[in-house]
Structure 1
């Protein structure tokens, strides 16, 4: 069998009967928007994360958009985002007509650098052109960002903190789970995420009762107590009932073994690749859900050579990300140049999922060692 980068087919075969039954139950009920599966899933997700409220929605990008909308973020506001992550984190800021301020990441963790963040906040305050409002740290590749410092910085400058946990779901810091940090947090259920459905889906987590009530209105066209009484301008962003039913099955597997399994695989990768490539750095007290297992090569040429070698053997690899957000066409020239180790030239993500067989893992490692030793 071909080695899969993230094997959703094998996951489905493992839980086929439960997933098929969950879908069949929804089809029999005839309730395809809302309903009991969505309500129960939200309760299960909130309990797992350890917060009062989970509000599901159509996708992870909408989750971020809804929170910024609820907070009234708009023109003239500065929102601080990491420069090395997926485009959506900055896209939602621009969509709200606010200004994204790109922050360099810690090259060891790939996450927002707290010191660079504070420097940028001071600079924005000093310039006096924008109002600093929100920090959006991203839990990249499954590792929670440094909330121990970022939350203190937010408190110091009276900024809201919105955790982008699209890749971090399942990780934790000293037992406090991803998606429980900041004033609100979001995640994505895109199929390749740590917990993914079979389409698009997302969720928002918060302990703020008023924010939760507002978000539940905003995600359904700004509805009031009656769905035909619209009290504000909102969006149409709901999680489908079938996706909720699928997620309930997959959440059980995720909790019972999947996060633990990817960490076991990561430990083997780490041991066998130590000294050959730069393996992921996990700070003390942190636990990653390994949305991706990302290593660093010495340079772009070495990465391309390895990637091409593995591709010829039908071993998939992916570069997350080939461009920083500030280098995207839509944002280029809107950020000051800075000197940094260009991660975009060195990173490479290897196959990682809970269903990676020992023989496939051995094949991957054997060929990386052969190529680079």
Structure 2
């Protein structure tokens, strides 16, 4: 059993993907070729924003978003401690200060009720993470940000395609930033990412920043990075787009089926809010004695993963930014979360095997 079955996805799309790659090989424009603009136009329309800027990775998307906002050394960015390191990494790389606010115990997303208290005169932005594929409480976060005149960057690396009150993830704030890492809901065959915004000035800044700050060839208007998404990777994503609606429907169905099958098993489930859906970038449960559970599942042929085993404020690289008293909810979750196999091509039979193996280890509810 595969944790994420990319081979089955490729088999279903082989003809289209191979042809898309061959077209790039034939025209030879490997950097900023025509597939780049074509993908940006298609994604902007699909997400429902005016501007999409493809970039080299999800990390680069967050970095360029912060650079476009003029983040300076000492500026604070409020974010989640329960996420991949890239979220805080980009803040620190620019000399900023990540301000970690604890997460909700049932969704693992940034707790909007604690955000306002974390704002100081040095706060420059708020960066919630839409973890596991469910959008964070963006309406509440946006309202707080608007009161203080702050931009919001949604880290949507795991939630591309998710809906929140009728709008797509990525279209909900000043910036939306996503990743096309192969395992994501929409993935390429390497690194890639994208930024989404309705702000023309920010979009132009991001376009310049991703090509070393150039407003024209060898005219460096601002400090930038080498942050372009390769033409080949854009071609792969373009070939995958026609299947995306089906894949998202499968993710919704499989997530709901996991929830139903696990309702009688001794595990904790992530709560789905009624005003949004989840694309299950990771299908994650909570278990006690996780190491033992993982070992037993591995012996039964069921792969698992942990997203994430240690919150960022407890990582050596970021412990200097740990808030007083820590982030107890994130710390609790980090000891218990365990991700199960999930991809659009996961079969119901494999899903049944996963649940049966898990129930055999942790037991069923009385």
Provide TM-score, normalisation by structure 2: 0.96
Runs of 4+ in 1 over 3 A off after TM superposition: none
Q: Following TM superposition, by how much is the alpha carbon of 1:161 offset from its aligned partner in structure 2, in angstroms?
A: 0.5
| Separation in 2, partners of 1:270, 1:188 | 26
Instruction: Work out whether residues 101 and 327 of structure 2, in 8 Å CA contact, stay in contact via their aligned partners in 1.
Output: no
Instruction: Identify the residue that residue 32 of structure 2 maps to in structure 1.
Output: 34
Aligned to 2:9: 11
Match of 1:128 in 2: none
- Provide the secondary structure at the position in 2 that maps to 1:349: strand
Displacement of 1:339: 6.3
Corresponding residue for 1:343?
333
1:216-247 CA deviation, whole Å, 9 max, x = no partner? 111111112x3122222211111111111100
Give unmatched runs, 5+ long, in structure 2.
none
SS in 2 for 1:32: coil
Q: Where does 1:233-312 land on structure 2 (aligned, <5 Å)?
A: 233-255=223-245, 257-276=246-265, 277-297=267-287, 299=288, 301=289, 303-312=290-299
How big is the shift at 1:34?
Answer: 1.1
In the alignment, structure 1 residue 174 sits paired with structure 2 residue 162: no
The equivalent of 1:229 in structure 2 is: 219
Query: Aligned residue pairs: how many?
Result: 359
Q: Distance in 2 between matches of 1:338 and 1:31?
A: 49
Q: Partners of 1:210 and 1:371 in 2: how far apart?
A: 54
Match of 2:318 in 1: 331
Rounded to whole Å, the distance in 2 between the matches of 1:275 and 1:348 is 17
- RMSD, aligned α-carbons: 1.1
Whether 2:145 is the aligned partner of 1:154: answer yes
How far does the alpha carbon of each residue in 1:93-114 deviate from its partner, in whole angstroms, 9 at most, with x for none? 0011011100100011110001
Q: Which of 187, 192, 196 is matched with 2:178 structurally?
A: 187
| Stretch deviating more after TM superposition (319-328 or 70-79) | 70-79
Alignment of 1:140 onto 2:131: yes
* Alpha-carbon separation, structure 2, partners of 1:214 and 1:272: 48
TM-aligned CA deviation for residue 76 of structure 1: 2.0
Residues 175-233 of structure 1: CA deviation (Å, up to 9, x unaligned) = 11100011111101111111110000011100001111111111111112x31222222
Report the Cα distance in structure 2 between the residues aligned to 1:73 and 1:261, rounded to whole angstroms: 39
Name the residue aligned to 1:50. Answer: 48
Residue 91 (1) aligns with residue 89 (2):
yes
Question: Which of 104, 114, 124 lines up with 1:106 in the alignment?
Answer: 104
Q: Which residue number in structure 1 is paired with residue 204 of structure 2?
A: 213
Q: 1:266-293: CA deviations, max 9, x gaps?
A: 1111111114211221101111111000
Displacement of 1:333 in angstroms is: 4.1
SS class of match (2:207):
helix
2:99–2:321: 8 Å Cα contact kept in structure 1? no
8 Å contact 2:164–2:276 — kept in the other structure? yes
